[in-house]
Amino acid sequence: MFKILYSFISMTKSKSLISKQLLAILLLPALLLSFHSAKAAFDPAWIKVEGKYSKLTGEATKILMQKCKDCHTANTEYPFYSQFPLVKDLLNSDIRKGRAYFNMDNEIFLKRFDTDISASSLNRLKTVLEEGSMPPMQYKMIHWDSNFSKTDKDIVLKWISDLSESDFLPIPSKESLGLNPDKVKLGELLYHDKRLSRDNTLSCASCHDLAKGGTDQSQFSMGINNTQGHINSPTVYNSSYNIKQFWDGRAEDLIAQAHGPVHNPAEMGSNWDEVITKLKDESEYKLLFEKVYGSPEMSGDKMAEAIATFEESLITPGSKFDDYLKGNKMALNKDEKEGFELFKKYNCNNCHNGVAIGANSFQKMGIYKDYFADRAAGENGLNVFAISKEDWGRYNVTKSEADKHVFKVPTLRNVKDTFPYLHDGTVTELAQVVKIMGEYQVGKEIPEDDIEKIVAFLKTL
């Protein structure tokens, strides 16, 4: 019976009053049930959010919970009719897709990421609300109570605009950070010291060369004993703005990160005790440890902290774009300005925004098309490249299906120097990444002319 009903629904795509009333009568029991489960399934802990936006946050999240949770959370009970063949297939595919594209548990409902809602997520929400594209049409037809009313929309948009900072922010001056100069100096020495690796051949700078945009400008880095890595080395410049460290976010912050490469057998293959044995008699280190920590005694924790402090100093203020943001309208030329407008027009700023123009959220690679399937098949001009464990991205950390192929959005600061691009380092030209981002992340084929201008803009960052 539901199969028939469903084909009937699909046929009557019009929003006519008659079909609505008819459907209302037919589906009333199902509706009541789905309404009931929507209320029972969640403890609205989010209403207790403290602070300035608490009331609005409560109202907005409640609306999202009612209208959107079916497809954007992992924790949903479904009404009985969801088990009927056609409805089931439809719902299942929407749920799987919806959750993969935008999991509201992460930052909104359950705060799984333990962070504020990122500008990227706010922007993506704003886009679908303004376009009226969510919930999807077919879903609205079986849950027409799920439609966003004008009041709902106003509340959620007000909430978004209150939470949103300006999309783009200039990088502050180094002085404003107030870092301890001796600690920075100590970190800088360690960062460049090859004795941090077992065979004294590699320093942090070997794979994050400050003269090469903070990267090694090769697809994969070479660890000690010529061990080939499987993921592209990201820039250390502006890494203090990263929401978490590594492409999959497995390190909480720069201090936690700094322990990684020293111990990684495929990178420096050493350990702090070994490093300390090599450095402890050096007078320059002794002096600096004394100055910074009040004693010449070394430890892995202190070294990691000093390195992290040095990395914090690696911000890059004063780009042409920052000049422009600060009000110098002459700082960008005509093409660069148009590129900036196009960057916003194509919604690139949904994910690349904030101080680092990225780095503040995790997003799926391949939203509109399956990047990994295309790459494995060598389609669309991509080099044939089989899927590796590294390609699972954040899934490796959370083990949640929804996080497969989800990566930290890279910063676009200094992007002209950080080639090759993407976590798999498969793309050498900026123009090609822009084309790929268009197809896989924003679902648009960007014309050649527009790509050129966007590239001109990216070079000002």
Contact set for ligand HEC, span 350-379 (CB under 6 A): 350-352, 363, 365, 367
Number of residues that bind ligand HEC (CB under 6 A): 73
The long-range contacts involving 326-329, CB below 8 angstroms and separated by at least 24 positions, are 326/170
Cα–Cα separations (whole angstroms), residue 359 to 55, 190, 238, 239, 454: 29, 25, 9, 8, 19
Choosing from 23, 68, 87, 122, the residue that interacts with ligand HEC (CB under 6 A) is: 68
Nearer of residues 223 and 322 to ligand HEC, judged by Cβ: 223
Considering only 79, 261, 339, 354, the residue that binds ligand HEC (CB under 6 A) is 261
**What is the DSSP-derived secondary structure letter of residue 94?**
H
Which range in 7-15, 169-177, 269-277, 408-416 contacts ligand HEC by CB under 6 A? 408-416
Smallest distance, Å, CB 333 to ligand HEC? 18
Binding residue for ligand HEC, selected from 30, 108, 410, 460, defined by CB under 6 A: 410
Range 94-113, binding ligand HEC (CB under 6 A) = 94, 97-98, 101-102
Indicate whether 409 belongs to the interface with ligand HEC (CB under 6 A). Answer: yes
Structure tokens at 283: 């007078």
186's tokens:
């100590």
DSSP letter for 269, please: -
Q: Which of 59, 107, 267, 311 is catalytic?
A: 267
Q: How far separated are the first and last CA of the chain, in Å rounded? A: 59
CB of 326 to ligand HEC, least distance (A): 23
Q: Which of 195, 208, 404, 413 binds ligand HEC (CB under 6 A)?
A: 208
Helix, strand, or coil (residue 384): coil
Per DSSP, what are the bridge partners of residue 406? 364, 393
Q: Which two tokens stand for residue 434?
A: 């822009």
By CB under 6 A, residue 453 contacts ligand HEC: no
| Tokens standing for residue 272 | 């702090």
Residue list 164-203, contact with ligand HEC (CB under 6 A): 191, 196, 202
Candidate list 237, 289, 372, 407; residue touching ligand HEC; CB under 6 A: 407
Taking CB under 6 A as the criterion, the residue among 87, 163, 315, 348 binding ligand HEC is: 348
Segment holding 54, helix H or strand E: helix 54-72
Residue among 248 and 322 whose Cβ is closer to ligand HEC: 248
Among 30, 38, 204, 315, which residue sits at the site for ligand HEC (rule: CB under 6 A)? Answer: 204
Among the listed residues 23, 27, 171, 268, the single contact to ligand HEC using CB under 6 A: 268
Q: Which of 19, 170, 141, 147 is nearest to 81 (CA)?
A: 141
Which one, 144 or 293, has the nearer CB to ligand HEC? 144
Per the annotation, the verdict on 267 as an active-site residue is: yes
If residue 263 lies in a helix (H) or strand (E), which one and from where to where? Answer: helix 254-263
Site string (228-247) toward ligand HEC, x via CB under 6 A: -x-x-xx-x--x--x--xxx
Q: What secondary structure does DSSP assign to 318-354, as a single string?
A: --HHHHHHTT-TTSS-HHHHHHHHHHHHTTGGGTS-B
Task: Give, in degrees to the nearest 5, the angle at Cα 352 between 349 and 358.
Answer: 160
Binding to ligand HEC by residue 402, rule CB under 6 A? Answer: no
The contact mask relative to ligand HEC for 419-438 (x = CB under 6 A, - = no) is --xxx---------xx--xx
Query: Which residues, 112 to 131, sit near ligand HEC by CB under 6 A?
Result: 124-125, 128
Report DSSP letters for 178-215, one per residue.
---HHHHHHHHHHHT-GGGSTTS---HHHHSBGGGTTB
Q: C-beta of 346: minimal distance to ligand HEC in Å?
A: 4
User: Is residue 288 within 8 Å of 310, Cβ to Cβ?
Assistant: no
C-alpha–C-alpha distance, residues 98 and 95, integer Å: 5
Q: How far apart are CA 243 and CA 115, in angstroms?
A: 8
**Which one of the spans 43-51, 133-141, 158-166, 326-334 is the region binding ligand HEC (CB under 6 A)?**
133-141
- When asked if residue 65 is in the footprint of ligand HEC (CB under 6 A), the reply is no
Query: CB within 8 A of 131, min separation 6: which ones?
Result: none
Count CA within 13 A, CB hemisphere, residue 39. 5
Interface with ligand HEC (CB under 6 A), residue from 33, 37, 442, 452 = 442
- The CB-of-300 to ligand HEC minimum distance in angstroms stands at 11
Instruction: Considering only residues 134 through 153, tell me which ones interact with ligand HEC, judged by CB under 6 A.
Output: 134-136, 139, 148
- Would you please indicate which residues are annotated as catalytic (active-site) residues? 267
